[in-house]
Amino acid sequence: MAFRVEHRLDDTDWRILDELQRDGRLSFNELGRRISLSPPSVAERVRRLEAAGVIAGYRAVIDPARAGQPLAAFVQMRCHHDRCLLKTSSADDYPEIVEIHKLSGDHCSMLRVRASSIRHLENFLERVGRHGELRSSVVLSTQFEGRPVEAAVADSHEVTESAGWSTRPTDSRPT
């Protein structure tokens, strides 16, 4: 899916997004107080960000372990052409899948799954395995998750050239 930026975000928009990513339940009054803008101005900006699709929705953040799904895993798949997971099944068939990413490279997709136990994960892998080859990794712990979307920073690092792999012509005259 190609995305086109139709709404240029200014510093005020980014301050609104920062606050809403911290707490999506803020009132326009409180949001306006935090960013020094009137509630009607904040409301108009939030509506524009929603209409532009920048704000895609609001949701509760659930702790999976406390909700009975303490086990997380990543599963790389190499689907059989005639049994592609994305073409021959639906989300309802595999409620354990919380994300699917299409990949380049050796595997066609990466799944992030949740399970209530190792036995549950094993059952899931047997069911989803009919679609192709799998490589799974159980998550032992998560060190960093849920980074908010922030304004892009200009790349301040120069790319270093590798002299032995340069495509530039070299001076090959004998010395």
Domain range annotation of the chain: 11-51, 71-138
What pLDDT, in 10s, does the model give residues 137-156?
999 999 998 889 998 876 66
CATH number given to 11-51: 1.10.10
The answer to whether 31 and 19 have CB atoms below 8 angstroms apart is yes
Quote the pTM value: 0.75
**Average pLDDT score over the chain:** 90
Average pLDDT along the chain, 175 residues, taken 10 residues at a time:
63 97 96 97 97 95 95 97 92 96 95 98 98 97 91 74 64 51
pLDDT digits (tens, 9 = 90+) for 31-62: 999 999 999 999 999 999 999 999 999 999 89
Q: Do 11-51 and 71-138 come out as alike in CATH topology? A: no
Q: Which CATH class is domain 71-138?
A: alpha beta
